[in-house]
Copies of this chain bind each other. A is one copy, B any other.
């Protein structure tokens, strides 16, 4: 896939993240695209409505993806994520069998945003560390458009979620 497609699809993940915020969630979003760049699924952060701490956008998207598409097809797909996947989400991407990952801001930069607002502010572990422990190659591009990704989080933290 060409670089402009990656940028456009990553920005689509940013738009999904912004939509999550309008639904009361923290601004995270992810998009699954097929081998020709066609959008297959979108997923907002799914913490609300059930207070699901495991409802990160990428993890939920991977659960949906692998129960919908066969592993061989997912190898040809790309997941676009507004922020670097945490260990849980990187693991989910690995198990689902998706072949490629493009993400916006890094987990480390995210920690600076979230660190004062939660008892579990972040898992400050590069997703590449998780993928390197696997036996299947996953192509990873990121951080990319990190400033745009970070702008999503301005004013989005420190407000109690009702």
Contacts and interface: CB of A to CB of B under 8 A. Distances in A.
Nearest to A52: B67
Counting chain B CB atoms within 10 Å of each CB, the highest count among A59, A71, A124, A133 belongs to A133
A8 interface: no
A88 B130 CA distance: 9
Interface in A87-144: 87-92, 94-97, 115, 119-125, 129-130, 133-136
A103 to B, nearest CB: 16
Nearest to A119: B136
28 contacts: A52-B67, A53-B62, A53-B66, A54-B59, A54-B96, A55-B63, A56-B95, A71-B119, A87-B87, A87-B88, A87-B90, A87-B94, A88-B88, A88-B91, A88-B95, A91-B91, A94-B120, A95-B120, A97-B119, A97-B120, A119-B136, A120-B135, A122-B135, A123-B134, A124-B133, A124-B135, A125-B129, A125-B133
A87 B85 CA distance: 12
Contacts of A77: none
Q: Is the interface of A mostly helix, strand, loop or mixed?
A: loop
A50 interface: yes
Given A54-B66, A66-B51, A120 B92 contact: no
A15 interface: no
A9 interface: no
Contacts of A56: 95
Interface string A12-54: 0000000000000000000000000000000000000011111
